[in-house]
Structure 1
Amino acid sequence: MSTRIAIIALTKGGSLLAERLAALLPGSEQIRSRGKVQETLARAWQQDYDSLICIMAAGIVVRCIAPLLRDKTTDPAVVVCDEQGQFAISLLSGHLGGGNALARQLAALLNGQAVITTASDVLGQTALDIWARDLGLIVADKSRLTQVMAKLVNSGSITLCSDYPLPPLPPDIILIDKREQADLRVTCRTAQWPRQALLHPKALVAGIGCNRNTPAAEIAEALRHACAENGLALQSISRLASIDLKQDEPGLLAFSEQSGLPLDFYTAAQLNSAADSSSSAAVLRATGAKAVAEPAAVLSAGGGQLAVRKRKSANVTVAIAELVSFFLPR
């Protein structure tokens, strides 16, 4: 995915540096402020730039962006440079937004110095938010993770327990077996202990059966309820599955698109070949398959075990299976 960078300068000398950087940085463009810095920054903020390079005093930038700040997961990275290119200051979204990396990149291009104040970077410790993101793990509670990150900075290490195999861990993350004592837990479950942060892998598949013309909202609610009553994280659902007769089902297709979850379809013969699934005479008469939700989930999970057997509401049937050989990317 390409990165969009806006470069905004205040002075004539700053504009010359902005032109130079725009030629050196792929995906970057100079935005002329014409003396209206606050308006220019606000406009750039709303235009979905990934990063803003501000060639001006840090104080000006702080005052201009203060009303725009929302969340570190959505705010763009902001790096401040002086017009001589001596310093590149990572001001905002240093980790997840890539501000620290951009500051280092600018320092290398300009033969200047990157100014990084993020504690984990300064101390050479693992940036837990980036580590989790790179492994495809979803943070259940940002405030909990912030507390664990603070513990890592203050004590030098934290503990982790995982329900799944992980690639080699950084030296400051210590793997333990006792779930209740771990600072971090990688799991599809929602139960947690005090001060523990949960990281959810995309390790579950939801099989969906539904009546014709069932709305997307009703399907979404049925899946949410199935996860909640079984202590599973909705964030751990990686994909959906159903019978091929539903390939034109508007509500199911809409839910797939809205949730960003891929949708697999199987024939009746394929569904009938799946092991460990219940059967329904009514479903068999209507579809030719003994069941839909359970075998669809099992097949899409590569033959994985059912974590939740079929749960039927008025118009939707949901079953959840665990990926058979789930592993995190190296």
Structure 2
Amino acid sequence: MSHTAIWTVRESALPLARQLARALDATLYQPWQQPDDNARQQFAAVFHQHRQWVLLMASGIAVRYLDGLPQSKLTDPAVVVLDEAARFAIPLLSGHEGGANALAYHVARLTGATPAITTATEALKPLTLGIGCRRGKSAEAIEQAVLQALAGRSLSDVREVATIDLKADESGLLEFCARHALPLRVIARSDVAARGWTGQPSTWVQQNVGVDGVCEPCALIASPRGRLLVPKMAREGVTVAVVEDGFDDFGAGE
């Protein structure tokens, strides 16, 4: 029995479901193939047989599927809801303790979705790091650049790391994030280009990546109400920007 499972409610979600099943080595359930059976009863029968679930459906449907099944945040399977358009990956159950937050980030990296994290443990962390780096930079080099940019602020204040999609498989960056249990959010190059703002455009990045910059726009996209606390800082082929959440102007202009 696979550690991870994917549940679909419509045949139209099958292409996406199959891609996720391959990437996550997951069991794929297709209850619509047995229309005479009660899908919610089928789900309830196998719910506790897996440790992680990706539910390809609307969040309202997912809530009805889960009705009466959760028992404890310490033992419930992790549940992430992903809409069929792969716009949002939402940890719905066991976000922190069960690993649904981490699963949401993983699903987001695979599909281009936005991870929607709502647990207080993560939400109270005010900093987002934008990181760009030359190919092959080590985790140690990235860590030293980050610590210099933080200038005494703790890594425990960092909610997530954001980078461009071209760096999604950068081994040093992945190792750095894993070492410090920091989720990595991957921003599509088209979104970075559309952000249209960066403090100091980089000729090298323009020529090699096709955007004006990486670390600043990625951090600002990941934290849309944030302010740029530390503009792009470069150290030995690694660039880091630090954005801090800000709510002083929340609701302004209404």
TM-score range normalised by the length of the shorter chain: 0.3 to 0.5
TM-score normalised per structure 1: 0.37
| Structure label with greater radius of gyration | 1
TM-score normalised per structure 2: 0.47
Higher relative contact order (CA 8 A, sep 6+): 2
